[in-house]
Amino acid sequence: MECVFGLVGNGFAIVVADTSAVHSILVHKSNEDKIMFLDSHKLIAASGEPGDRVQFTEYIQKNVALYQFRNGIPLTTAAAANFTRGELATALRKNPYSVNILLAGYDKETGPSLYYIDYIATLHKLEKGAFGYGSYFSLSMMDRHFHSGMSVEEAIDLVDKCILEIRSRLVVAPPNFVIKIVDKDGAREYAWRESVKDTPASA
């Protein structure tokens, strides 16, 4: 089952997602990147049905880019989150998307923020959030060890604790995770936590 979780620290926000693409009992791929760069300072981590996940997040990404082209300035994280929620809500009673999203971003004026948007268009601004079976383990871990204004090292330590707990306690635990971070210097990949390495395509 897909595990996505994230938290806000001192001047940064971190999101973590598993990287398995699964079809019933088969694992098709264990290095599928589920955290997309929405723009230079925003990350969108999505979990849900494969088609919906990619199509919906790409749709949001292109619309956010369009806004920037039209208006010359990028959207704030709050605006992007509310736009995403609006799109989910509009589609909900006709053709719902089964995607759960954690949107993390950094704004110059307001600093880092994390938004929890679930598949029925619930929107919450939070300091820590999680989706999937992994949330049963990571939420309590984060509740116990989180405090406002954590440093990057403390936050990564907490993330590793959560990953360890998921790996040891979840029956169908995903083997690999990707960690991405967003701060004043932009959104970037921080690290991978791999326990099963795919044979690389090229040397």
Partner 1 sequence: MKLDTSGLESFPSLILHGNDVAGEISAPPSFDLPNSNDFDGFLKEAIQMVKPAKGTTTLAFIFKEGVMVAADSRASMGGYISSQSVKKIIEINPYMLGTMAGGAADCQFWHRNLGIKCRLHELANKRRISVTGASKLLANILYSYRGMGLSVGTMIAGWDETGPGLYYVDSEGGRLKGTRFSVGSGSPYAYGVLDSGYKYDMSIEEASELARRAIYHATFRDGASGGVASVYYVGPTGWKKLSGDDVGELHYHYNPVTPSTTVEQEMVDAAAA
Q: How near is the Cβ of 61 to partner 1 at its closest, in Å? A: 14
Q: Does residue 50 bind partner 1 (CB under 8 A)?
A: yes
Please count the residues of this chain forming the interface with partner 1, following the rule CB under 8 A.
20
Among 36, 45, 40, CA closest to 16: 45
Per-residue interface string for the shown chain with partner 1, residues 55-94, x marking contact by CB under 8 A: x---------------------------------------
Applying the rule CB under 8 A, the residues between 14 and 33 that interact with partner 1 are 21, 23-26, 28-29, 32
Site string for partner 1, 163-202 (x = CB under 8 A): -----------------------------------xxxxx
Residue whose CB is less far from partner 1, 29 or 184: 29
Please identify, using beta-carbon distances, which residue of 31 and 82 lies nearer to partner 1. 31
Query: Which 8-state DSSP code applies to residue 177?
Result: E
Beta strand 186-193 with 35-39 is unpaired
Euclidean distance between CA atoms 198 and 5, whole angstroms: 23
Closest approach of Cβ 122 to partner 1, in Å? 23
On whether the CB atoms of residues 14 and 159 are closer than 8 A, the answer is yes
Residue 156, classed as helix, strand or coil, is helix
Of 23 and 93, the one with the shorter C-beta distance to partner 1 is 23
Three-state SS at 22 = strand
- Is the Cβ–Cβ distance between 74 and 82 less than 8 Å? no
Q: Which is nearer to partner 1, 52 or 118 (CB)?
A: 52
Quick one: 54 or 79, whose CB is closer to partner 1?
54
Residues 194, 199, 202, 203, CA torsion sign: positive
Choose which of 1, 10, 37, 54 interacts with partner 1 (CB under 8 A).
54
Cα dihedral: 10, 13, 18, 19 (round 10): -120
Q: Work out the number of other CB atoms within 10 angstroms of the CB of residue 76.
A: 17
Which residues of the shown chain bind partner 1 in the complex (CB under 8 A)? 21, 23-26, 28-29, 32, 49-52, 54-55, 198-203
